[in-house]
């Protein structure tokens, strides 16, 4: 039986399966939000599994809720950087037994498990246990993560793209190069503050709000400071034209995958150039040329006007967010809502 662990105790083993299960990501998230919000840590991330915590509050100041969730996510009360590819780290031989033990760790009224692999062992074990226990199951979100397999040749990848996508990603480099000297610079670690300031400025211009607030910036800086110790390689990529910064990409390479976490660019730079896609083209080409890299992960989500990730990707990964509800009152209220 798992018990509630003090927030100060954090145990992490090796072999994280994605960037989001690293000690750096999980610990920084917990220090930024978990400790300050008074959440109860149930299990720290270990052996490629996401951590778990309990969020206790009153919904609309009336209904008491104890919500079990993955560290790195919060269903209803907080907006934090997205944590994807969450996993329980269940044993292949007895996933149902291990999950049952885990979900009996504490008294919860609802459990929300965000962005797990749809159709995975975790997903199937959750549905099977909910059926046995009589818990209400709700799908609160579905999404797809997009990635590029970089183990072939970049030229072959380009030839597989549609003509308009290839134009945006690669062919219009000549237009950019004709405007002046083009340079790519990694601002990690000496110009990290300048990088995030520029990213926020580009997002303010495009979306009307900065990309990261002060709290999120603290999280990301804490994450970057720790991920190198686990073998991660931050790439705060800055694309400049004639000495002027025109686009930024927030990438981190970890265990053979480059994760593209965020991007921003000067939207009104040139009417013929899709700067964000063009910058991604340089980064993807670099990943193809790296013998240690197997994948460039664009993660889930789309663009402002179109799903550019789908056009660039060679692979798609379905993600699902599941809510389990137990207790008569909670199940009655959700059924009434539905």
Instruction: Write down the pLDDT at residue 1.
Output: 26
Check whether residue 268 and residue 323 sit in a common domain.
Answer: no
Gap between the Cα atoms of 232 and 227, Å rounded? 5
Check whether residue 57 and residue 24 sit in a common domain.
Answer: yes
Check whether residue 201 and residue 226 sit in a common domain.
Answer: yes
Task: From 313, 218, 299, 308, select the one nearest 259 (Cα to Cα).
Answer: 299
* Residue 273 counted as domain residue: yes
Gap between the Cα atoms of 104 and 133, Å rounded? 11
Residue 91 has pLDDT above 90, yes or no: no
Question: What phi, psi does 331 have (nearest 5°)?
Answer: -65, -40
Task: From 263, 306, 268, 303, select the one nearest 284 (Cα to Cα).
Answer: 263
Give residue 165's region: left, alpha or beta (phi > 0; psi -120 to 50): alpha
pLDDT tens readout for residues 139-193? 999 999 999 999 999 999 999 999 999 999 999 999 999 999 999 999 999 999 9
Residue 16 has pLDDT above 80, yes or no: no
* Residue 270 counted as domain residue: yes
Q: Which two tokens stand for residue 229?
A: 């110790």
Check whether residue 213 and residue 237 sit in a common domain.
Answer: yes
Average of per-residue pLDDT across 13-37: 86
255 vs 98, more confident:
255
Residue 117 pLDDT level (bands cut at 50, 70, 90): very high
Alpha-carbon dihedral 157, 158, 161, 165, rounded to 10 degrees: 140
Distances (CA, A) of 125 to 36, 136, 193, 332: 32, 15, 43, 24
* Residue 133 counted as domain residue: yes
Place of tokens 């030839």: 159
What is the share, in percent, of the chain residues with pLDDT greater than 70?
91
Q: Which helix (H) or strand (E) holds 275?
A: helix 275-289
Q: Which two tokens stand for residue 17?
A: 């399966």
Instruction: Write down the pLDDT at residue 2.
Output: 29
CB 277 within 8 A of CB 214: no
CB 19 within 8 A of CB 254: yes
What is the share, in percent, of the chain residues with pLDDT greater than 90?
79
Average of per-residue pLDDT across 36-57: 91
Check whether residue 203 and residue 135 sit in a common domain.
Answer: no
Check whether residue 88 and residue 156 sit in a common domain.
Answer: no
Instruction: Write down the pLDDT at residue 329.
Output: 64
For 34, the domain range is: 19-143+319-337
Angle between helices 121-133 and 95-103 (to 10 degrees): 60
Gap between the Cα atoms of 29 and 48, Å rounded? 16
Average of per-residue pLDDT across 280-308: 92
Structural domains in the chain (count): 2
Instruction: Write down the pLDDT at residue 64.
Output: 87
Residue 33 pLDDT level (bands cut at 50, 70, 90): very high
Q: Which two tokens stand for residue 260?
A: 């593209």
Gap between the Cα atoms of 157 and 149, Å rounded? 9
Check whether residue 282 and residue 332 sit in a common domain.
Answer: no
Sign of the torsion formed by the C-alpha atoms of 57, 61, 65 and 67: negative
CB 281 within 8 A of CB 170: yes
Instruction: Write down the pLDDT at residue 178.
Output: 94
3 vs 324, more confident:
324
pLDDT tens readout for residues 189-238? 999 999 999 999 999 999 999 999 999 999 999 999 999 999 999 999 99
Beta strands in 118-206 (DSSP E): 136-149, 182-186
Average of per-residue pLDDT across 25-33: 97
Instruction: Write down the pLDDT at residue 11.
Output: 39
* Residue 124 counted as domain residue: yes
Average of per-residue pLDDT across 15-37: 91
Check whether residue 35 and residue 137 sit in a common domain.
Answer: yes
Residue 9 has pLDDT above 50, yes or no: no
Residue 79 has pLDDT above 60, yes or no: yes
Residue 95 pLDDT level (bands cut at 50, 70, 90): confident
Gap between the Cα atoms of 92 and 47, Å rounded? 13
Question: What phi, psi does 145 have (nearest 5°)?
Answer: -100, 145
Gap between the Cα atoms of 274 and 286, Å rounded? 19
């Amino acid at each position: 039986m798992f018990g509630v662990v003090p927030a100060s105790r954090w145990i992490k083993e090796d072999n994280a399966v994605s960037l989001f299960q690293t000690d750096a990501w999980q610990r920084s998230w917990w220090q930024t939000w978990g400790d300050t919000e008074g959440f109860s840590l149930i299990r720290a991330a270990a052996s490629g599994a996401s951590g778990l915590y309990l969020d206790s509050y009153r919904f609309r100041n009336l209904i008491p809720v104890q919500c079990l969730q993955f560290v790195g996510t919060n269903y209803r009360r907080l907006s934090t950087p997205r944590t994807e590819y969450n996993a329980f780290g269940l044993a292949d031989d007895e996933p149902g037994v291990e999950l049952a033990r885990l979900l009996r760790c504490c008294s919860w009224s609802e459990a929300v498990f965000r962005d797990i692999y749809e159709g995975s062992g975790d997903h199937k074990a959750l549905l099977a246990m909910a059926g046995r226990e009589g818990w209400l199951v709700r799908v609160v979100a579905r999404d797809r993560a997009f990635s590029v397999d970089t183990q072939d040749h970049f030229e072959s990848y380009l030839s597989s793209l549609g003509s308009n996508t290839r134009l945006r990603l690669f062919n219009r480099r000549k237009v950019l190069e004709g405007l002046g000297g083009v340079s790519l610079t990694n601002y990690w670690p000496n110009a990290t503050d300048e990088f995030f300031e520029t990213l926020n400025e580009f997002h303010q211009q495009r979306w009307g709000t900065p990309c990261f607030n002060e709290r999120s910036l603290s999280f990301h800086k804490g994450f970057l400071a720790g991920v190198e110790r686990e073998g991660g390689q931050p790439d705060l990529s800055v694309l400049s034209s004639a000495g002027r910064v025109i686009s930024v990409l927030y990438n981190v390479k970890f265990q053979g995958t480059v994760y593209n976490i965020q991007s921003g660019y000067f939207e009104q730079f040139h009417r013929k150039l899709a700067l964000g896609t063009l910058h991604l083209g340089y980064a993807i080409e670099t990943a193809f040329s790296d013998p240690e890299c197997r994948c460039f992960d664009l993660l889930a989500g789309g663009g402002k006007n179109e799903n550019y990730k789908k056009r660039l990707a060679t692979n798609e990964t379905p993600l699902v967010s599941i809510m389990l509800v137990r207790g008569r009152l909670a199940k009655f209220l959700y059924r009434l809502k539905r």
